[in-house]
Amino acid sequence: MVDPDGTAAATQGEGGGHVTVKTYVNVAIVLAIITALEVATLYIPGIPSSLLVGILLVMSALKFYLVVGFFMHLKYDHQIMRALFVGPLMIAIAIILAVMALFSAFLLLPRSH
Amino acid sequence: MADHAATHAVHDPNIGTTGLDHRKMGMWAFLGSDCMFFGSLIGTYLAYKGKSISGPSPRDVFDIPLTSYSAALLLASSLTMVLALAALQDDRVKVAARWLLATAAMGLHFVLNQVYEFWTFVHHHDLTLSTSLFGSSFFVLTGFHGAHVTGGVVWLLLLVGLAWGGRLDKRDHTKVEIAGLYWHFVDIVWIAIFTVIYLIP
Amino acid sequence: MTEQPSTAARFPKRLDWPLVGLLAALLLLTGACSWVGWNWDTPMTTVNPKSDFGRTTHAIFMLISWWALGIFIAVEGALIYACWRFRERPGAPIPKQVHGHTALEISWTIAFAVILLIIAIPTIRAIFKTQEAPAATALRVDVYGKQWWWEFEYPQHKITTANELHLPAGQTVAFFLNTPDVIHSFWIPQLGGKRDVVPHRVNLITLTPEAPGEYPGQCAEYCGMSHANMRFRVIVHEPAEFEKWVKAQQAPPVESADVLAQQGKTLFAQSRCVGCHSITGISASRIGPDLTHFASRKTFAGSLMTSTPDNLTKWIENPEHMKPGALMPTLGLKGEQSKALAAYLLSLK
Amino acid sequence: MATPAAFMPGAKAEVPTFWGVIASWLITVDHKRIGILYGSSAFIFFLIAGIEGLIMRLQLARPDNNIVSAQTFNELFTMHGTTMIFLAIMPMSAAFFNYMIPLLIGARDVAFPRLNALSYWIFLSGGLLLHASFLFNAVPDGGWFGYANLTSSQFSPSHSIDFWMLGLQILGISSMLAGFNFLVTIINMRAPGMTLMRMPVFVWMSFVTQFLIVLAFPAITVALILLMFDRFFGTLFYAPAAGGDPLLWQHLFWIFGHPEVYILILPAMGIVSEVLPTFARKPLFGAPVVIYSGIMIGFFGFGVWSHHMFSVGMGPVADAAFSIATMLIAVPTGVKIFNWLGTLWGGSIRFRTPLYFSLGFIAMFTMGGLSGIMHASPPVDLQQTDTYFVVAHFHYVLFGGSVFGLFSGAYYWWPKITGKMLDERLGTVHFWLMMIGFNVTFFPQHYLGLIGMPRRIYTYAGDLGWTFWNLVSTIGAFTVALSFLVFIGNVIKTARSGQVAGPDPWDGRTLEWSIPSPPPVYNFARVPEVRDRDDLWLQKYGDGHEGAPRPKPAPVTAAEIAAIYMPPTSFWPILLAIAMAVMISGLLISMYQVIVGGLVTLLFMYKFAVEYHRPAGGNRH
């Protein structure tokens, strides 16, 4: 509401300031490759299911990071914005894991099929 | 929300004393909250995974190629979304409108894919909301994601409408950026759903 | 920007310490009166345990209570003392603007954490001790919580009964808790507890009653309209007495030759009663309570009423009136019919 | 677009008509007016829920009583709990967030004024929908935490649970919108110089509360969505026959429900942390510790939910883990109490009504906290859960804690809000009646619980030893009710002939006391420059940091006031809230209503969003 120092203008337009269109395209290419790899992993014959789960989770975490970091500019944004998103995300993940533990869902994961 | 810059060029009421935009900060707070929303839904799905008593199993019904195509669509739409923002920041309004439209179109395609997927589940696999725990938790989780995408498509189309009506230009880049944050978030939720629900056996 | 009315002058200076004293006196008085007026040895007391489970729980309860009492006296005492000691005095200067005292703050944090640790250790031990798997020699009782009564099945003895639970003193009992409808909670306060009865999940609670006697129990999880009426009685016997009870329950029901009772038997067999209730030799449905040895039980309908001919007649004529929401329908039996049925049931020793 | 001149004091062009005044409240976006709306609605709901409590106490005054039926009793405790939590304590806190946060951080309004109005109207429609159940004789009867599967259509076939479920869903939307708004307001609208550590502690506790609201409510939203799908669309989430686990509801509910407990208590803790320094004339003792412990409580609040479920049979490992987490969270809670005592220590304590209520808060909350530690130990909790011991415990926390704290805030800030002082004598009578009545009501309930009285029973037998103390408890409840009559009398008396307060009646320490009472619509004629948590105190007395009081600033000029920009009013918030209520209540009536209501909602959302978007061809910079 009040901007005595006129700092607002300085921080505006940061969205394009750090990331160029070229970066966007490169990120998109990497995302496409990871997605292809993810699906491909599924068809590796005889892959142990715990390894498969691990690989898939790592790859999707990477995709998640790329989209949030570059497309959503969080990598370059103010730390307040980062805290507003990353904190809740961590709580959400912790709660998913706790609920899975309470419902013995981990026991089911590696065994099925 | 409101943009009063036109009449009060000195004090933009959307900029706080930290120099950050209220609306953008509000959107990030909302996305943090939405993490908990989808977290609870995904937690429910995983808690019930493999506990259905009857009905088809996920392996029986999932069409991985179709879903991979949908996932790629959303990722591509994230790219067009940032391109739209970049164009608007350069004040190329028409280009931005085109990219926004492309984003909305891919979003719509994603939703139609989902409708088709649901239709095949119901008609070819006899999997409905009330078939089994899998049916209930799958449809509700992916359905709420689909609803988020649909909301995003409406939002993007309204922005396109503003642009075509000459009411969107460089000054409104924050509005497009916020719509973009929402859109990318919907994309990352799908990244999580795609891996955790579709790919992990 | 700021106007400063002399606020201190605007309020009459009141003597406030009498009020503080009044509070202290009130607390003391309430405490003292209450102590006299509090009888801890009531039928559903939780602080007079009669089982190993109850004693384990109670020991931790007392431990925490003493610590809590100590902290309570310290905090409330400090509060009252500070209010009295540091009350505003006329002409007093502005107090020193103290912002904190790091060492003091760290030390009370640590002290508080240590007290909690003292409580945590026996707690964790008790959690694991009370949830050990029962020995194979334990008496098994399958408990079914139903809206709004209790069914008890002894699979080792092939007995099914309702609302009255008979146990031998000194023997470990494993209660397997089930329900066909909603969540209930199985609770016998004097023997320790409680454990929720959750649909589609068999919960377990193991305890060893130590003293013969009669202990009331009650459903402790809100389960609908007549939740308050979902009570039961636990009768702990000397082992020999328990054996006698088992024998009596296993035997077929003793029927009376009384004409009214015989009429009642015919009525029972011909009416809708058999759709829900079982009496050995006549019917075998598990929806309502097993009535084979109905007259061996002192109470009925969620242990709500004593088994007298009068109560039973009223119940048969209009269950809903006696127990709101009762799932037993009004059968339209009246006058002689309901009296006959009551006489029959009361003959089933 | 309205001009600032319209808001200026003394700019009364004409005498407003009755309907003009009503309309001005319906379209207001002023945080102070919205705060008053929140406060007065909450107080009405508070009285309704209080009367429900009194009827329950009458029924339980003696054994085998039949003043109300079993069904009515079940409806009463459900509505009492739901109303007190969602429609009384939360919105009363919201009233203080709305009115006080901008004043305490030196802002002229909240970040999203229209969204703020929208939150209020959605809250009101949720409260009205919940209470509309009385008109249709379908009053919710599942308990305030509505455990599945009692709430399934099989066991609750009437619309009663639907009213509850949809009402809560609407209230959740309102709370979350307000949460985003205040998060942004607190982060982004602090006056220059007000760093996070210079923020008043009430604002800090509110800040933590907003985080809890926006992160905890999604869990109950999901739980309610699953319930709604079960009831309306035949899903099986809570259906045991299909393998569904009713405990899923309990987990999701308490993932929300435990942070909710802190949502209810943290604002009151914040108020106490403002009132004590003012009346002890001394800064809050160890303020950083109070702040950090508030943050810790908020964070750990998400990791202790299953301590509400020790009796459901989670197994020893989960029991132990949640027990330890619960004891951990007790540490920061306990530390706060010592810090408040440290604040009083060495002060020059002026006994005024706000302070009485804060002292009452400390005394009563301590007791609630101590009985809470007992529940942290699963073996002990097994005996106490679902008995009157727990009822006593959470009333010591929520009534002895939250309500005492909120009344402390009401007496403290009443002069700021209305410009008049509440009567001290009546205030003192109110306090002592409430204090004594509260203890007479709830202290015996500890004993009743320990001798085995379960909660939520509409009747009990006379031979269990519960009779006498139940009667005492009922007498206490009516004493509490009497104390609220005294409060209402005080409000009326003050409105008629209250002493004029002036800007700074308590010799306050924070920014709100630097401006007139009631504040002008723009709050601060000149945005303050903040140098300390107790900035006003420093201005007045100096504090060693500055040596001496600051010189008086130059008077504010008319030109400065004319240049103030204030957000204009809007009728879209109330229209949008009505459209949403129509859409959601359609689930009880017909799908057509849902669809039509949904389309109208969408249209209004669009209108809301572009209300101040420039028209085509708008001028450029």
- What is the set of active-site residues of D? 80, 109, 144, 174-175, 258, 260, 262, 273, 307-308, 333, 336, 455
Alpha-carbon separation of residue C115 from C70, C76, C118, C120, D373 (angstroms): 11, 18, 5, 9, 11
DSSP string, D222-263: HHHHHHHHHHHH---TT-GGGT--HHHHHHHHHHHHHHHHHH
Domain boundaries along the sequence of chain C? 16-87+102-130, 139-250, 259-345
Of the options 1.25.40.10, 3.50.50.60, 3.40.50.970, 2.60.40.420, the CATH number for the domain spanning C139-250: 2.60.40.420
- pLDDT at residue C110 is higher than 80: yes
Taking a C-beta distance cutoff of 8 angstroms, is the pair D184, B25 a contact?
A: yes
Contact residues, chain A, for D109 at CB < 8 Å: 1
- The three-class DSSP label of residue C324 is coil
- Could you tell me which residues come within 8 angstroms of residue B67 by beta carbon, excluding any fewer than 6 positions away? B117, B194, B198
More confident residue, D174 or D618: D174
Cα–Cα dist D427/A62, whole Å: 61
Taking a C-beta distance cutoff of 8 angstroms, is the pair D405, D361 a contact?
A: yes
* Cβ neighbours, 10 Å, residue D613: 16
Q: What pLDDT does C193 receive? A: 79
Cα–Cα dist C75/D344, whole Å: 12
As for the ipTM of the complex, it is 0.92
Per-residue pLDDT tens over the stretch B114-149: 999 999 999 999 999 999 999 999 999 999 999 999
Cα–Cα dist C304/C37, whole Å: 28
A89 contacts B85? CB cut-off 8 A: no
Q: Do domains C139-250 and C259-345 have the same CATH topology?
A: yes
More confident residue, D181 or D548: D181
DSSP string, D466-485: -HHHHHHHHHHHHHHHHHHH
Q: What pLDDT does D541 receive? A: 86
- The three-class DSSP label of residue D518 is coil
Number of helices (H) and strands (E) in chain D: give both, helices first.
Answer: 20, 2
Cα–Cα dist B35/C206, whole Å: 41
Cα–Cα dist C177/C197, whole Å: 5
Phi, psi of D519 (to 5 degrees): -70, 150
CATH superfamily of C259-345: Cupredoxins -  blue copper proteins (2.60.40.420)
Put simply, whether the predicted model's pTM sits higher than 0.90 gets the answer yes
Q: What pLDDT does D113 receive? A: 95
- Interface probe, candidates D251, D299, D304, D312, chain A, greatest A C-beta count within 10 A: D251
- pLDDT at residue C16 is higher than 60: no
- pLDDT at residue D42 is higher than 80: yes
Q: Which residue has the tokens 């009458």?
A: D58
Average pLDDT, chain B: 92
Smallest CA–CA distance from B78 into chain A, residue: A71
Contact residues, chain D, for B169 at CB < 8 Å: 620
- pLDDT at residue B93 is higher than 90: yes
Any contact of B with A, at least 3 CB pairs below 8 A? yes
Per-residue pLDDT tens over the stretch A26-62: 999 999 999 999 999 988 888 888 899 999 999 999 9
Instruction: Give whichever of B161-175, C247-261, D391-405 has the largest mean pLDDT.
Output: D391-405
Residue B153: inside a domain, yes or no?
A: yes
Phi, psi of C136 (to 5 degrees): -65, -25
Q: What pLDDT does D557 receive? A: 86
Element (H, E) at C259: helix C259-270
- pLDDT at residue B10 is higher than 60: no
Say how many CA atoms lie within 13 Å of D506 toward its Cβ: 36
Q: Which CATH architecture does the domain made up of C16-87+102-130 adopt?
A: Orthogonal Bundle (1.10)
Q: What pLDDT does A2 receive? A: 39
What is the token pair recorded at D265?
């208590």
**pLDDT mean over B25-40:** 97
- Rg (alpha carbons) of chain C, rounded to whole number: 29
What is the token pair recorded at D514?
């630097």
Q: How confident is the model at residue D552 (pLDDT cuts 50, 70, 90)?
A: confident
Q: Where residue B150 sits, what CATH number does that domain have? A: 1.20.120.80
* Cβ neighbours, 10 Å, residue C70: 12
Q: How confident is the model at residue C8 (pLDDT cuts 50, 70, 90)?
A: very low
Cα–Cα dist D589/D585, whole Å: 7
Question: Range with the lowest mean pLDDT among A9-23, C188-202, D291-305, D390-404?
Answer: A9-23
- pLDDT at residue B9 is higher than 60: no
C76 contacts D313? CB cut-off 8 A: no
Domain span at B113: 22-199
Strands C173-178 and C139-146 turn out to be parallel
C positions 205-264 inside 8 Å of D (CB): 216, 218-229
Contact residues, chain D, for B158 at CB < 8 Å: 606, 609
Q: What pLDDT does A113 receive? A: 35
Size of interface A-B (CB pairs under 8 A): 173
More confident residue, D336 or D9: D336
- Determine the residue type at D206: S
- Could you tell me which residues come within 8 angstroms of residue A97 by beta carbon, excluding any fewer than 6 positions away? none
- Could you tell me which residues come within 8 angstroms of residue D307 by beta carbon, excluding any fewer than 6 positions away? D258, D322, D323, D325, D326, D375, D376, D378, D381
- pLDDT at residue D418 is higher than 60: yes
Q: Count Cβ atoms within 10 A of the Cβ of residue B121 and give its class: 0-12 exposed, 13-18 middle, 19 or more buried.
A: buried
**pLDDT mean over D43-51:** 97
**pLDDT mean over D420-431:** 94
Strands C139-146 and C231-237 turn out to be unpaired
Alpha-carbon separation of residue D237 from A33, B136, C147 (angstroms): 37, 7, 22
Element (H, E) at D289: helix D287-300
Nearest to C64 among D71, D241, D374 (CB): D374
Q: How confident is the model at residue C9 (pLDDT cuts 50, 70, 90)?
A: very low
Q: How confident is the model at residue C34 (pLDDT cuts 50, 70, 90)?
A: low
Three-class SS string for chain B?
CCCCCCCCCCCCCCECCCCCEHHHHHHHHHHHHHHHHHHHHHHHHHHCCCCCCCCCCHHHHCCHHHHHHHHHHHHHHHHHHHHHHHHHHCCCHHHHHHHHHHHHHHHHHHHHHHHHHHHHHHHHCCCCCCCCHHHHHHHHHHHHHHHHHHHHHHHHHHHHHHHHCCCCCHHHHHHHHHHHHHHHHHHHHHHHHHHHHHHCC
What is the token pair recorded at B25?
């900060």
Cα–Cα dist D115/D31, whole Å: 11
Contact residues, chain B, for D617 at CB < 8 Å: 166
Cα–Cα dist B79/B59, whole Å: 31
Phi, psi of C165 (to 5 degrees): -110, 120
Length of chain A: 113
Per-residue pLDDT tens over the stretch C138-175: 999 999 999 999 999 999 999 999 999 999 999 999 99
What is the token pair recorded at C204?
């377990």
Q: How confident is the model at residue D566 (pLDDT cuts 50, 70, 90)?
A: confident
Cα–Cα dist D369/D330, whole Å: 8
- pLDDT at residue A108 is higher than 80: no
Strand partners, D84: none
Nearest to A113 among B51, B79, B201 (CB): B201
Per-residue pLDDT tens over the stretch A62-85: 999 999 999 999 988 999 999 999
**pLDDT mean over D403-409:** 97
Residue B9: inside a domain, yes or no?
A: no
Cα–Cα dist D174/D91, whole Å: 10
Alpha-carbon separation of residue D425 from C17, D428, D499 (angstroms): 16, 5, 13
Taking a C-beta distance cutoff of 8 angstroms, is the pair D390, D376 a contact?
A: no
**Count of the separate structural domains present in chain B:** 1
- Interface probe, candidates B33, B137, B175, chain D, greatest D C-beta count within 10 A: B33
Q: What pLDDT does D9 receive? A: 45
3-state helix, strand, coil split of chain D in percent (to 5) is: 70, 0, 30
Going by C-alpha positions, the residue among A38, B133, B27 that lies closest to residue D234 is B133
Instruction: Give whichever of C99-113, C293-307, D169-183 has the largest mean pLDDT.
Output: D169-183
Question: Range with the lowest mean pLDDT among C106-120, D449-463, D471-485, D605-619?
Answer: D605-619
- Interface probe, candidates C221, C298, C303, C320, chain D, greatest D C-beta count within 10 A: C221
Q: What pLDDT does C24 receive? A: 67
Q: What pLDDT does A43 receive? A: 87
Strands C192-197 and C173-178 turn out to be unpaired
Element (H, E) at D401: none
- The three-class DSSP label of residue D452 is coil
Angle of the C17-37 helix axis to the D424-450 helix axis, nearest 10: 20
Of all residues in chain D, the percent with pLDDT exceeding 70 is 96
Per-residue pLDDT tens over the stretch D71-125: 999 999 999 999 999 999 999 999 999 999 999 999 999 999 999 999 999 999 9
Per-residue pLDDT tens over the stretch C173-226: 999 999 999 999 999 999 987 999 999 889 999 999 999 999 999 999 999 999
More confident residue, B173 or D554: B173
